[in-house]
Amino acid sequence: MKSIALVGFMGSGKSSVGKKLTDYLNIPFYDTDEVVENQLGMQIKDIFKRHGEDYFREVEEEVLLSMPSDGAVIATGGGIVESPVNRETLKNNFNSIWLQASFPTISKRLEADAKRPLWNNNDQLKHELFRSRQNLYQQSTVKIIKVDELEIDECAQEILCYLNL
């Protein structure tokens, strides 16, 4: 089976749903943010502060290319789709699924968040970022799951059902 890649905006549930899927499937789980942090020995907010977003994106791209194309679940960072190479990779190499959440849902979930540098912004910029990414998620994925009304487990079940697993 092609690896499952979960794609979507910050707070859409990629890591939680990914872990739930690996429980059901008993296969390895990767989180590209965690792999980047482990490789650089630094938290993402510090990578952004010390090295800037562009450097983070370079490492993120290498990390995605290093992910197993079969037999794993991969949760990706919300901005992974900014790179054209990543959009191609996601679309062609993985079963890439867009966890689509509305802006109000994300705002509610990330109300108290302090670890995401690009969420630490004013409302207008956050909204613009959200809007600008929608088309990129669409280009990178083969299936959309609307997550606003779904629990983590229901979301995982929908994915299993879509993939006939």
Which residue number, 78 or 86, has a Cβ lying nearer to ligand S3P? 78
Q: Tell me the residue type at 26.
A: N
**75 contact partners, CB below 8 Å, separation of at least 6:** 6, 14, 15, 17, 18, 29, 30, 31, 32, 33
Inter-axis angle of helices 14-25 and 152-162, to 10 degrees? Answer: 60
C-beta of residue 30 within 8 angstroms of C-beta of residue 43 = no
Sign of the alpha-carbon dihedral angle for 6, 152, 106, 146: positive
Least distance to ligand S3P, CB of residue 121, Å: 11
Tell me how many helices (H) and strands (E) the chain has: 8, 5
Q: Does 79 bind ligand S3P (CB under 6 A)?
A: yes
Q: Does 13 bind ligand S3P (CB under 6 A)?
A: no
Q: Which stretch binds ligand S3P (CB under 6 A): 73-81, 87-95, 140-148, 154-162?
A: 73-81
Q: Does 117 bind ligand S3P (CB under 6 A)?
A: yes
- Rounded CA gap, 116 and 18, in Å? 19
Least distance to ligand S3P, CB of residue 164, Å: 27
Q: Does 81 bind ligand S3P (CB under 6 A)?
A: no
Least distance to ligand S3P, CB of residue 91, Å: 18
Q: Does 10 bind ligand S3P (CB under 6 A)?
A: yes
Q: Which stretch binds ligand S3P (CB under 6 A): 101-109, 115-123, 145-153, 155-163?
A: 115-123
Site residues, ligand S3P (CB under 6 A)? 10, 14, 33, 44, 77-79, 116-118
